[in-house]
């Protein structure tokens, strides 16, 4: 998975497919970890998994926002209860823009 190769890379772009495949596999793995944690009685396992993938989640979200021409700071919209999460899902679902992202850091 390309997203884990770019573990803490916050600049660049992430295509819509790359982002949504990461989300899909992340959810599936989280469900699996939760089931295993419940079976073995170690509920902290889910917390450990969540913390382990926190930085890749943020990184791919920021790269996805860059891909649609938005600033990575737009991820903070998600802090607004209910409306913020819905707005981010709409942004993540938008198609890629071809023009350069003026909000993203430029490579020298």
Model confidence, pTM? 0.84
104: pLDDT strictly greater than 70: no
107: pLDDT strictly greater than 60: no
**What pLDDT is stored for residue 9 in this prediction?**
84
8: pLDDT strictly greater than 70: yes
Q: Which helix (H) or strand (E) holds 84?
A: helix 83-93
105: pLDDT strictly greater than 90: no
Q: Please enumerate in sequence order all residues whose Cβ is within 8 A of that of 67, keeping only pairs 6 or more positions apart, or say none.
A: 13, 14, 15, 16, 96, 97, 101
Q: What is the pLDDT of residues 29-85, one digit of tens each?
A: 999 999 999 999 998 999 999 999 999 999 999 999 999 999 999 999 999 999 999
Over its C-alpha atoms, the chain yields an Rg (Å, rounded) of 15
């Amino acid at each position: 998975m390309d997203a884990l190769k770019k573990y803490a890379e916050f600049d660049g772009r992430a295509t819509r497919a790359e982002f949504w495949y990461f989300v899909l596999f992340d959810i599936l793995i989280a469900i699996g970890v939760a089931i295993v944690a419940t079976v073995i009685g170690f509920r902290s396992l889910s917390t450990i998994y969540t913390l382990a993938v926190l930085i890749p989640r943020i990184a791919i979200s920021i790269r996805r926002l860059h891909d649609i021409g938005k600033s990575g700071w737009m991820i903070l919209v998600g802090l607004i209860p209910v409306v913020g999460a819905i707005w981010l899902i709409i942004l993540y679902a938008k198609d890629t823009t071809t023009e350069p992202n003026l909000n993203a850091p430029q490579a020298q």
